[in-house]
């Protein structure tokens, strides 16, 4: 059970099933091409669902995970040291954490695969991040659809040419829909509301049957 406030500010317990987590892990394993040679730097508190990627994906693939302390995560110099000292090949963090590193003078780490999510990623920051690293991906997904639901690869040129960084395409066994107020698909280029379906959709909200019925609808 992962508690999230979402946009309402009222905590809700999301009942995530093991199968939901496995779908996310194996879907992203294929996208990221994780091997037993990879080394993850885990920076996220276990109170947030995205910590599951950092902790469980290495177990599923035979990779290594290095745990950063809460003090390390707030210190750009300490993070830089961990990246270099442990030859980190994969790190996931919010734009705020990546900004902390960049503003402290970090110029990137060759071979580092950067995963960014949890907040909107500005194009200017994406451009800065994509230089000096192995790869950069923007990830998106609400807690209700289990960790991450979509992924978008970013290169330096795209970061410079886009005002907004896309959230990308859905991971395996995931579907996304853009619908209008009546629940009908919107035409190309029109504004709609994002709906997510597939194997990542959680069971519902803990002890909130009415809210579950409202938010978790049949496709």
Alpha-carbon span 49 to 145, nearest angstrom: 10
Looking at the predicted structure, is the pLDDT value of residue 158 above 70?
Answer: no
Q: What is the pTM of this model?
A: 0.93
Residues forming a β-bridge with 198: 174
Alpha-carbon span 168 to 165, nearest angstrom: 9
Phi then psi for residue 60, to 5 deg, are -75, -20
Percent of the chain with pLDDT over 70: 95
Percent of the chain with pLDDT over 90: 87
Structure tokens at 196: 């997510």
At 159 the pLDDT is 53
Alpha-carbon span 163 to 73, nearest angstrom: 28
Beta carbons of 148 and 192 less than 8 angstroms apart: no
At 135 the pLDDT is 96
Average pLDDT, the chain: 94
At 49 the pLDDT is 94
Alpha-carbon span 197 to 188, nearest angstrom: 20
Which of 73, 71, 75 has its CA nearest to residue 41?
73
Structural Rg of the chain based on CA atoms: 18
Beta-strand relationship, 39-42 and 64-67 = parallel
Which domains, ranges and CATH numbers included, belong to the chain?
18-171 (3.40.50.980)
Alpha-carbon span 142 to 136, nearest angstrom: 20
At 33 the pLDDT is 95
Span 159-182, pLDDT tens digits: 566 677 999 999 999 999 999 999
Span 59-118, pLDDT tens digits: 999 999 999 999 999 999 999 999 999 999 999 999 999 999 999 999 999 999 999 999
């Amino acid at each position: 059970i992962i508690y999230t406030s979402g946009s309402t500010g009222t905590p809700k317990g999301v009942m995530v099933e093991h199968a939901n987590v496995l779908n996310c892990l194996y879907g992203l394993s294929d996208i990221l091409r994780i091997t037993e040679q990879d080394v993850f730097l885990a920076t996220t508190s276990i109170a947030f669902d995205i910590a599951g990627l950092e902790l469980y994906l290495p177990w599923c693939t035979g990779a290594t995970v290095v745990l950063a302390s809460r003090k390390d995560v707030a210190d750009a110099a300490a993070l830089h040291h961990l990246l270099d000292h442990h030859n980190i090949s994969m790190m996931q963090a919010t734009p705020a954490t990546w900004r902390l590193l960049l503003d402290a003078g970090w110029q990137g780490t060759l071979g580092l695969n950067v995963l960014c999510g949890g907040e909107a990623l500005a194009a200017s920051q994406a451009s800065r991040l994509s230089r000096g690293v192995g790869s950069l991906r923007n990830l998106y997904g609400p807690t209700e659809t289990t960790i991450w639901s979509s992924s978008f690869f970013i290169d330096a040129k795209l970061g410079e040419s886009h005002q907004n960084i896309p959230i990308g395409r859905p991971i395996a066994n995931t579907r996304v829909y853009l619908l209008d107020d009546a629940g009908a698909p919107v035409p190309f280029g029109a504004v709609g509301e994002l709906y997510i379906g597939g194997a990542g959709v959680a069971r519902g909200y803990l002890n909130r049957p009415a809210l579950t019925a409202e938010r978790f609808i049949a496709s």
